[in-house]
Structure 1
């Protein structure tokens, strides 16, 4: 049976093309949703861009007919703008205020009541990314769903970049001796390029870390021979994997995810400094992060651009102070000014740039949308390497979650590409307190 899907504003602002995601069913957009979209189109951020995209898309669909009378969509479904069914009579004793959310609920409820009177009435489903709107809908007897079509992966399928593989003792010994083996010699499973395998014998008494080559057909020992990078040594298996990816010249895109305190930023900065300052492989180390506040925004900041950026970039400077072992106030600024090859920037200023021969680190990438992360990756110039990292479980963007953010999007789209590598850091190394807080809280 065909269904009627009533879309909340946040669905369109998250994905302007969401109206094509409901197959051959009927999509209804309440008039109040258009008002909300119109109020956002002047924003100069991702929400504003999506609002403008929605406006243009619906305007083009007008060529197919009158929007309030239902027009066909390419996927076999239909779309209409709901101008009727706005009566608040059914909800006035439950939700007193006529907020936009409640007006959308009223449209869905009235449509549902109308369909219930028909012999072959269709189920009416409200689609919203707002949890409380779905709760309200359930309270008044409406079906409600989250919009999941924008999710890159399902809940249990997020790629970690490594896996355990049990092999015979003989196979493990052969790998130690040769340093490489064809996957077909000991397993029928297929793996992604640059995926790490933790080889263990059946007794669990010995193990080895192997890395699938770029063809995905054989495994090799890790190539990194550095005992430490800028005074930093990997403290666990996953950090060792991360260092391997960061120092490999044939891997242009590295993604690292992990909870707070797992060492993502420190390892990336150390690897960038080693290859920029010591090896001279890159002309500059560029570090950037999106400006998304945690908690209430502190408003406008005084001073020049660098002074304004300092509070947002302070986590980067904290790690640089540790790497340079600075003790006095202003000492780090003097070092960075003297070097001239380290640039700490906000992502706000990256559009339109071309970034060749640079080691690029994008911190807190989980707060980026798919469009924003595409904008960043398409800025990467020749002979550059880019590292995206963050914690998908700590997202401050109102329309993103663990499964649809830009970082997860890149991990999933590039996991089978020979120029990319990924690892999930699982063990906190900042302090015993930080590790306990990340696990318990």
Structure 2
């Protein structure tokens, strides 16, 4: 049965191509949504770019016919701009002031009322990423849904980068004798991904175990190349950190994603690996470290000074880790070290668009605050011989339109898990301090 989907403004600003995601159903855009999009199109951020994209998209569809009457889409459905769909009385009676959200609710409510009076009514669904709008719709008796098209199935089901498999102890002995196993030697229905880690444990209950990595073609299980030697003074404190260093130091893996709670060592491990590859092995020409400028809480507003001075508060977590790695004693020493080296660049993602970055070790911190469009822009900047590290905590998101299942970091993890050039690991154990681990678990 065909449906009518009424879209909220935030859906279009989150995914400007969302009008094509509803198959052969009718998509309705309330007129007030156009007003809200118009108010955002001058923004210089991702929301502004999406607002301008939606404006161009609707203008292109307008060439095919009157949007007020409805225009056919390539998906088999249609799109319609609703100018003023009858009365707002019922919505205003319940919620008082006629805000833009309430006007969108009124359009959905009046459509729903009209359809229920027909012999063959179509279900009307309001699609919004605003939780309170969906709650208001429920009060009015309107079916409401979040926009789920670009989400992974479930955050808890997200690819973790490693799996524990219980096997007969003879198979573990065979691995230690030959240093590799064929993937089909594993009993059971285990789907293996390229560069995934396998922790083999004895099904008989002994302490015998082995840590392996799936080959890029997913046909063999190989031993890890990295030993337990420290990397720039940083050693792996648990199995997942060892897996992360294996990915970070493997030059054949050009895209590495690392997720984990605060204090699990994501930034420190990536910086240590980057310094080794750039300063010691000279595999890459430069170490580029960047993070999105998204505030936690209220924005502190404009900052005085040159670009470097403006960026310093946003980049301070990076400098904190660099100070630890270089073991600096005084404030300001790290700036002198970085200036002397010349091969380490700390940058804001604001300035990465339009660049081509070859031969560099690129670390993107706090990548969970990126949309899927932004993360595509970043990964597509990588030139020949570059390696990109995306890391962050999907449970700590400051972006207003993203959550744990729809942000750019988890999107990349799921889309690249089948690719031989990428690897992923989820860090679980906090190593910053016992207090930090308890805060991450309990708060």
Instruction: Compute the TM-score of the two structures, normalised by the length of structure 1.
Output: 0.98
Match of 1:259 in 2: 261
The answer to whether the Cα contact below 8 Å between 2:92 and 2:102 also exists between their aligned partners in 1 is no
1:309 maps to 2:311? yes
Deviation at 1:64, TM superposition (A): 2.5
Match of 1:278 in 2: 280
Following the alignment from structure 1 to structure 2, what is the Cα–Cα distance between the partners of residues 364 and 414? 19
When residues 273 and 155 of structure 1 are mapped into structure 2, their CA distance, relative to the original with a 3 A threshold, is closer
The secondary structure found in structure 2 opposite 1:210 is strand
Deviation at 1:86, TM superposition (A): 4.5
Match of 1:359 in 2: 361
The answer to whether the Cα contact below 8 Å between 1:230 and 1:273 also exists between their aligned partners in 2 is yes
Which runs of 5 or more structure 2 residues have no equivalent in the other structure?
Answer: none
Which runs of 5 or more structure 1 residues have no equivalent in the other structure?
Answer: none
1:98-113 → structure 2 map (5 Å cutoff): 98-113=98-113
1:36-435 → structure 2 map (5 Å cutoff): 36-187=36-187, 189-204=190-205, 205-225=207-227, 227-435=229-437
Following the alignment from structure 2 to structure 1, what is the Cα–Cα distance between the partners of residues 373 and 284? 27
The answer to whether the Cα contact below 8 Å between 1:4 and 1:124 also exists between their aligned partners in 2 is yes
Following the alignment from structure 1 to structure 2, what is the Cα–Cα distance between the partners of residues 348 and 410? 20
Deviation at 1:80, TM superposition (A): 0.9
Following the alignment from structure 2 to structure 1, what is the Cα–Cα distance between the partners of residues 413 and 316? 26
Instruction: Compute the TM-score of the two structures, normalised by the length of structure 2.
Output: 0.97
The secondary structure found in structure 1 opposite 2:301 is coil
Of 154-163 and 292-301, deviating more is 154-163
The answer to whether the Cα contact below 8 Å between 1:86 and 1:103 also exists between their aligned partners in 2 is no
Following the alignment from structure 1 to structure 2, what is the Cα–Cα distance between the partners of residues 160 and 189? 14
Deviation at 1:339, TM superposition (A): 1.2
RMSD of aligned residue pairs (Cα, Å): 1.2
The secondary structure found in structure 1 opposite 2:17 is helix
The answer to whether the Cα contact below 8 Å between 1:211 and 1:219 also exists between their aligned partners in 2 is yes
Residues 191-230 of structure 1 deviation map (CA, whole Å, 9 limit, x = unaligned): 1110000001113421111000111000111001351011
Following the alignment from structure 1 to structure 2, what is the Cα–Cα distance between the partners of residues 111 and 249? 57
